[in-house]
Chain A
Amino acid sequence: MSVLLDIRGVTRRYPRPRKRLFQEEAPLVAVDNVSVQIAQGRTLGIVGESGSGKSTLARMVMAFEAPDAGEVLFEGKNIHALTRRELQALRPEFQMIFQDPFGSLDPRRSVGWSVAQPLRAAGRTADPALIARTLEQVGLRAADVDRFPHQFSGGQRQRIAIARAIVTRPKLLVADEAVSALDVSVRAQILNLLMDLQEEMGLGILFISHDLAVVSSLCDDLLVLRNGVVVEQGSAAGILNAPGHEYTHTLLTAARLELQGEGAA
């Protein structure tokens, strides 16, 4: 199986404001020397609590910001070394789903407009038949193109966001807490949708979550982050059955408690 995404020793530091005049504050290391790979058609889960560097990693994979050290290779190309034009040409290959389905769609734009955006940006024609087909693929109706985001529920909006992400037939999908803002029942539907799409399109998925229960149902491999440092890394089944680190264990216990709580409710 070919390697789709190769993250090599990536580090990202953020400068912190000075507290003293003559003493520089040590920078905040959001991501510290992380290396991981995603193969085509596989799902890598990245878990960790808030502030563990998950989203920073996602932002670097999406080339929204550049690492201070290390490189991110997409199909062997260092995406941070590309020119703006080259990066723009490559963008249809890797797309992203955001956490907040209310914030990731422009309230002033119709569903069809938003879903077609990646096609337009890539200079392709936004074929209405393709938009309609993509909407149906994510469980919406073709007639929804003319409606606006506020007319949809959270789960439906997330489906729209997914439609936008897959309309260019990407190879990699980055999902940053993509189901965290959704109800439990809707969450399962969206997770199923992602798995179906993966099977259909052979998508590689980078799935970021603080919730191990969600990750366990979806991921092949797992990376546990804490304060930007890799705590544990390996196959999802292996880690979930026998966590090798206390931190992972804590996360697992928390996830089980939450599951029980939801079961009781």
Chain B
Amino acid sequence: MIELRGVRFAYPGEAWALELPAFDAAAGEAVAVIGPSGCGKSTLLNLLAGIAAPQRGTIRVDGRELTGLNDAARRDFRAQRIGFVFQTFELLDYLDVAENIRLPYRINPSLGAPPPLEAVRALASEVGLQDKLRRRVDALSQGERQRVALCRALIAQPALILADEPTGNLDPASGRQALDLLLRLGRERNATLIAVTHDRSLLDRFPRVVDLGAVAGSAHA
């Protein structure tokens, strides 16, 4: 499902570079990525999402070779096949819960028409938000907001879910609850989950944990 080979990436003008000889994840697999600050965890997510392109090596996601695609094609691929969950949720406060969930369809014409409200309600019912679809997101609790973000990430049936500190802004109980939902819904949809986290108390919930600090080399040009 995910296959990185001989990847090297450096931000323009910076001496630091991420060196990743190999990284793989199977379809439906959940992988926690840990490592010290600055080891390249967020950079790895950007590479997998096609937001950043490596200077060397290959990245294959869901059978597509990302390094061979131009910016527009990578963006379309991201819209169609990748779901995002952010630490600070990044919901739009001027949209209600239902419209936040449908947002990927509003901003990506390549996804087609937005799903009907019934489909949104069905998805929301899996995270217990079916009765709050017309609520403003700033009227929700932190845990509820993260569940809205989770629905937004899943609405377009992604093959890969990238989660950047998904529990970082939640209390421990809510964090565990949100993570369990993320793991369950990803598994049910056979979506690969790559979650970056600093919270070592949650690592036992992941079948696989990758310490990026150990597997990746960081080079100084």
A and B: bona fide binding partners: no
